[in-house]
Amino acid sequence: MAEQLYWEDVKEGGEVTTLTKIGTTQMLVRWAGASGDFNPQHYDAKFGEAAGTGGIIIHGALKRQWLIHLMTDWIGGEGTLKKFSCSYRGMDYPRYMKTMTEDLGGDTWLCKGTVTKRYVEDGDHCVDCEIWVENGQGQKTTPGSATVILPSKG
């Protein structure tokens, strides 16, 4: 785990530490089981082709959870995620598997963010961020925002 982030360490316009994600078909199956979302769109290529998405697409909710991971990593154990939102704007296609543990290559997703506002509200040291998931072509397929409370050095 990274060192604890403090409110005083953050600057408006500064960056949230980027988190890299590799979405594979194997991960989508794990997510289907863990979330209870068994829409075939996310594990059955023939179903996806018939539905017009061009194959298997990554669950919006999994990308949402990638962004939550981005924020909980950045704010550390002493930080609190208060508000979070994201929109599923573009489809993302997972990497297929080559072996049990290796994939065939493909997109790498970057979860990123910038600090838009730093303020104190009701005694809480708050930070607002603009966040997003970016695919291998640099497209922001999942834009969003978050508000966190950070510990203060006082």
Partner 1 sequence: MVTEDMKKLIGLSSEPSVSEVEKGAIQRFAIAVDDPNPLWTDEEYAKKSRYGGIIAPPGFFGWPAKAQWTFGMGGPMADVLAEFTKAGFPIVLDGGMAYEFFIPVRPGDTLVSTAKVTDIYERAGRAGTSLFGTIETTYVNQNGDIVAKGQATLIGRPLG
Site for partner 1, rule CB under 8 A: 1, 21-22, 27, 30-31, 33-39, 60-62, 64-66, 68-69, 72-73, 77-78, 80-88, 144
Q: Which is nearer to partner 1, 18 or 35 (CB)?
A: 35
In terms of Cα–Cα distance, which of 141, 2, 116 is closest to 66? 141
CB of 89 to partner 1, least distance (A): 8
CB of 88 to partner 1, least distance (A): 5
**Three-class SS of residue 143?**
strand
In terms of Cα–Cα distance, which of 22, 19, 99 is closest to 58? 22
Q: Which is nearer to partner 1, 11 or 119 (CB)?
A: 119
CB of 140 to partner 1, least distance (A): 13
What is the chain's alpha carbon radius of gyration, rounded to the nearest angstrom? Answer: 17
CB of 41 to partner 1, least distance (A): 9
The Cβ of residue 72 has, within 10 Å, a number of other Cβ atoms equal to 15
Instruction: Give the type of residue at 149.
Output: I
